[in-house]
């Protein structure tokens, strides 16, 4: 493991030689292929940055690392190191050792949403309960029709009425017992037009589409560091 070259460690002063000796001992104890988070921007001696670089001749230069590196990293005699930028290490399980996966964003699909529904309501325009009414035709009060001047029909057992108005100025009425025939009478009335009571109509449909499908940032809170791998 690379150490910071400090002159003061745990309150005691250490010489540069002592620090180098300690660093060498730690590095010797870490086998090739060990990966550490590291605050530096460049790898210390014996380590490589996991930055996606291709290390040419790695099979010869770093035989210990080559021996443990997954096949997916190898290309001929070179190693194609994974890029740990914006990535987290995860224990191998159903994924292959040394493989990369996942994403820092996620677009939600309709299938990812819990079952739900949208409700809305409304009614069509309605008129209240009402009717149209009025009298039919001319309005005439209750009345009957009867015979005048013998010009209507009369049922009688004797002589009928005599009309003397033709060419004269007077008329003589002569009648015997009998009866007049009259038409029937109907009281004043109106006809109404019925209508249904107040009511409404039901309807169904769908709401308009909303949203833009913008991907969500699902990156958790983190501290950005470099990742280095022990080469030999």
CA distances from 110 to 103, 116, 216 (A): 19, 11, 14
Q: Quick check: pTM over 0.85?
A: no
What pLDDT is stored for residue 5 in this prediction? Answer: 45
What pLDDT is stored for residue 143 in this prediction? Answer: 57
The strand pairing partners of 48, in sequence order, are 229
What pLDDT is stored for residue 156 in this prediction? Answer: 46
Reported as a single tens digit per residue, the pLDDT across 117-130 is 877 776 666 555 66
CB of 214 closer than 8 Å to CB of 106: no
Q: 33 in the Ramachandran plot: left (φ > 0), alpha (ψ -120 to 50) or beta?
A: left
CATH class name, domain 31-89+220-230:
alpha beta
Residues of the chain with pLDDT under 70: 1-15, 19, 27, 122-189, 191-197, 199
What pLDDT is stored for residue 127 in this prediction? Answer: 58
Q: Which residues have a Cβ under 8 Å from the Cβ of 202 and sit 6 or more positions away?
A: none
Q: Which residues have a Cβ under 8 Å from the Cβ of 102 and sit 6 or more positions away?
A: 87, 90
């Amino acid at each position: 493991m690379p150490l910071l070259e400090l002159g003061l460690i745990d309150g005691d002063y250490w010489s540069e030689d002592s620090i180098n000796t300690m660093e060498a001992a730690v590095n010797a104890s870490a086998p090739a292929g060990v990966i550490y988070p590291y605050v530096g921007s460049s790898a210390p001696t014996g380590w490589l940055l996991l930055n996606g670089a291709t290390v040419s001749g790695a099979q010869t230069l770093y035989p210990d690392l080559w021996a443990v590196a997954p096949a997916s990293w190898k290309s001929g005699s070179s190693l194609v190191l994974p890029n740990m930028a914006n990535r987290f290490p995860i224990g191998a399980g159903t994924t292959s050792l040394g493989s990369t996966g996942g994403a820092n964003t996620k677009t939600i699909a309709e299938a990812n949403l819990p079952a739900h529904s949208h409700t809305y309501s409304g009614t069509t325009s309605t008129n209240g309960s009402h009717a149209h009414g009025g009298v039919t035709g001319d309005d005439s009060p209750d009345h009957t029709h009867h015979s005048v001047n013998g010009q209507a029909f009369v049922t009688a057992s004797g002589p009928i009425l005599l009309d003397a108005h033709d060419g004269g100025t007077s008329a003589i009425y002569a009648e015997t017992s009998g009866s007049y025939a009259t038409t029937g009478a109907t009281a004043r009335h109106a006809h109404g037009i019925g209508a249904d009571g107040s009511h409404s109509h039901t309807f169904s449909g769908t709401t308009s589409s909303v949203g833009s499908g913008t991907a969500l940032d699902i990156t958790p809170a983190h501290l950005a560091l470099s990742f280095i791998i022990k080469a030999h």
